Structure 1
Amino acid sequence: MKNKFLLGLASLTLAAALAGCGSKEESKEQGKAIDENKIVVGVTSGPHEQIAEVAAKVAKENGLEVELKSFSDYVLPNTALAEGDLDANSYQHEPFLDTFNKDHDTDLVPVGKTILNPMGVYSEKYQSFDEIPDGATFGLPNDPTNGARALFVLQEAGYIKLKDGADLTASIRDVEENTKNLKFIELEAAQIPKQLSEVDVAAINTNFALEAGINPKEDSILLESTDSPYVNYIVVRAENENDPTIKKFVEAYQSDEVRAFIEEEFQGSVIPSW
């Protein structure tokens, strides 16, 4: 009798475990449903958080509560989204998202454009790029993403041409034409503002420029256009791409109120991209 009881108990335990696995698998397939009255959005501190706060006020006026969670790095907001702790996030451009999905086997998708933090080209010696002499030194970030970004800014302005097929990981080895025979010097992105006086011209990321008191709109001699692939997006899990609550938040973000705030607060150093 005892053995029969233990066997029955083991069977029940196994059945419960299998049922638990099944419900987890089913939950994973169906995705996490989004509350139609509330959404949890991850942002990084700084401009993304400031702008999302205004978007949250607009959303609240339209009956949607937005809870913001701020992060200090670029990985956790995507990890939290993939695991269901967030309903959306707002802080990244598509090249970064593509790399994250590939490296982490996730399926996160962009659903609405937000802002562009335009990369600028600066010089302490010249007032325009046309003034720069043949053979001038050009400082650019030494990491693949930002180095390629600087090269595309130059190509868009017509000063270099990259090889056919050069993608968002292009490097100085992909430069096929160089009208000013620029001498490229790869530098740590965060240090370029401090080293600007040591080169003739340099490409600087907006966040590092702002930290150094450099205004992209006023001080740059070349500035990335709004057609840049580095425009930032609101991002969600693939199964929520067409969720009505997500669409409501995107509409709130892409409102006239948010655009006016960005233009007044950042004076061209951050650009609305919708």
Structure 2
Amino acid sequence: MRKKWHKIIGTILLTLSIFILAGCGKSASANTNKTITVGSQGSDLEIWQHIAKSSQAKSAGLKIKVKEITDGAQLNKATTEGEVDVNAFQSWSYYQAYNKQNPNGKLAALGTTYLEPLGIYSKKYKKISDIPDGTTIAIANNPANTSRDLLLLQKAGLITLDKGFDALSNTKDIKSNPKNLKFKEIDDTTGPRVLNDVDVVLISNTVALDGGLHVLTDSIYHESVDQSTKDNVNILATAKKNKNNAQYKKLVKLYHNKKIQKYINKKYYGTKIEVNKPLSYLK
């Protein structure tokens, strides 16, 4: 009788073990096959919509859903709160500024994607030296892009910035302004529309492309790709708790796939310059 009970108990335990292992298997499989929601905007949104449908994504075993959120701060917030798994829109400097301003809702960078040269545009002047004293220049009204705009104006020889100028600096940190330039802060998504009303406007390439402008041919001055512009390299970002997520990291490798890059270069006329570097390159 005792042997019989031992046999029954053994059978029950074996059955439970099989169910538990099967459950674990399903859980692991569900995690691996989870659809990744990528939040984006502008031309980056179009890129990730293409990637999501691509055979390269399928080969990598990645199911991608793309969600549009047009406000950068809201997109980062949606990422930290889990509404979006990974976002694709921001530069390293924008990411750093956001984390400084939101210490309780930080992001983590997953990898580098590209650099789009920021451009100075004007319908009135054909070159930087044509810009006269007292000219009003429209610049971005968000911290990271404000500082990036001012750094480009310094590189163009129009102003000089304080030595400690950083990603959160602004017009108060201008050391020298020999042409007495005036600065008008605008929503940086409106640059192409403002171009008819202001003599000089700084416009990011994503926004410029959306407005039918090409930074390499239509701007009167633009960033060059070198060490001085590494803070402007774009990244993929996720919530800090997900920084080691292997599936999310696969998105970086997928972005740099040769066929994906061929599509991007053709569609955006070479204005999204691939940067395939470790994150240590940006630090």
TM-score by length of 2: 0.71
1:119, distance to aligned residue in structure 2 (A):
2.4
CA deviations over 1:191-212 (Å, ceiling 9, x no partner): 5434435544321233443343
1:184, distance to aligned residue in structure 2 (A):
2.0
**CA distance in structure 1 between the partners assigned to 2:82 and 2:138 by the alignment:** 41
**CA distance in structure 2 between the partners assigned to 1:232 and 1:211 by the alignment:** 17
Q: Report what 2:43 is aligned to.
A: 47
SS of equivalent residue, structure 2 residue 165: coil
CA deviations over 1:161-210 (Å, ceiling 9, x no partner): 2001111222222222345x151231423554344355443212334433
SS of equivalent residue, structure 1 residue 139: strand
**CA distance in structure 1 between the partners assigned to 2:68 and 2:208 by the alignment:** 21
1:251, distance to aligned residue in structure 2 (A):
0.7
> What residue identity is the alignment partner of 2:250?
K
1:251 correspondence with 2:253: yes
1:120 correspondence with 2:119: yes
Q: Residues 136, 79 of structure 1: CA spacing in aligned structure 2 closer, same or farther, 3 A cutoff?
A: closer
Q: Report what 1:29 is aligned to.
A: none
In the TM superposition, 1:10-25 aligns within 5 A as none
Q: Report what 2:266 is aligned to.
A: 264
Q: Residues 36, 177 of structure 1: CA spacing in aligned structure 2 closer, same or farther, 3 A cutoff?
A: same
**CA distance in structure 1 between the partners assigned to 2:231 and 2:215 by the alignment:** 18
1:177 correspondence with 2:176: yes
- Structure 1, unmatched stretches of 5+, are 1-32
In the TM superposition, 1:230-241 aligns within 5 A as 230-241=232-243
1:72 correspondence with 2:65: no
Name which of 52, 58, 78 aligns with 1:60.
Answer: 58
**CA distance in structure 2 between the partners assigned to 1:35 and 1:147 by the alignment:** 40
Contact 1:34 1:245 in 2 (8 A): no
Q: Residues 39, 66 of structure 1: CA spacing in aligned structure 2 closer, same or farther, 3 A cutoff?
A: same
> What residue identity is the alignment partner of 1:59?
A
SS of equivalent residue, structure 1 residue 35: helix
Contact 1:262 1:271 in 2 (8 A): no
Q: Report what 1:148 is aligned to.
A: 147
Q: Report what 1:219 is aligned to.
A: 218
TM-score by length of 1: 0.73
**CA distance in structure 2 between the partners assigned to 1:106 and 1:113 by the alignment:** 21
Q: Residues 82, 202 of structure 1: CA spacing in aligned structure 2 closer, same or farther, 3 A cutoff?
A: closer
1:151, distance to aligned residue in structure 2 (A):
0.6
CA deviations over 1:54-80 (Å, ceiling 9, x no partner): 434223223x12221312233454344
SS of equivalent residue, structure 1 residue 229: helix
1:36, distance to aligned residue in structure 2 (A):
3.1
Q: Report what 1:94 is aligned to.
A: 92
Contact 1:172 1:184 in 2 (8 A): no
Query: How many matched pairs?
Result: 241
CA deviations over 1:211-256 (Å, ceiling 9, x no partner): 4332222100111344242332111233432333233221111222
SS of equivalent residue, structure 1 residue 166: coil
**CA distance in structure 1 between the partners assigned to 2:274 and 2:30 by the alignment:** 27
Contact 1:41 1:90 in 2 (8 A): no
1:117, distance to aligned residue in structure 2 (A):
4.1
SS of equivalent residue, structure 1 residue 126: coil
**CA distance in structure 2 between the partners assigned to 1:34 and 1:95 by the alignment:** 35
Q: Residues 90, 207 of structure 1: CA spacing in aligned structure 2 closer, same or farther, 3 A cutoff?
A: closer
SS of equivalent residue, structure 2 residue 262: helix
Calculate the aligned-residue CA RMSD, in Å.
Answer: 3.1
Contact 2:43 2:210 in 1 (8 A): no
> What residue identity is the alignment partner of 1:203?
L
Q: Report what 1:229 is aligned to.
A: 231
**CA distance in structure 2 between the partners assigned to 1:112 and 1:196 by the alignment:** 34
- Structure 2, unmatched stretches of 5+, are 1-28, 277-283
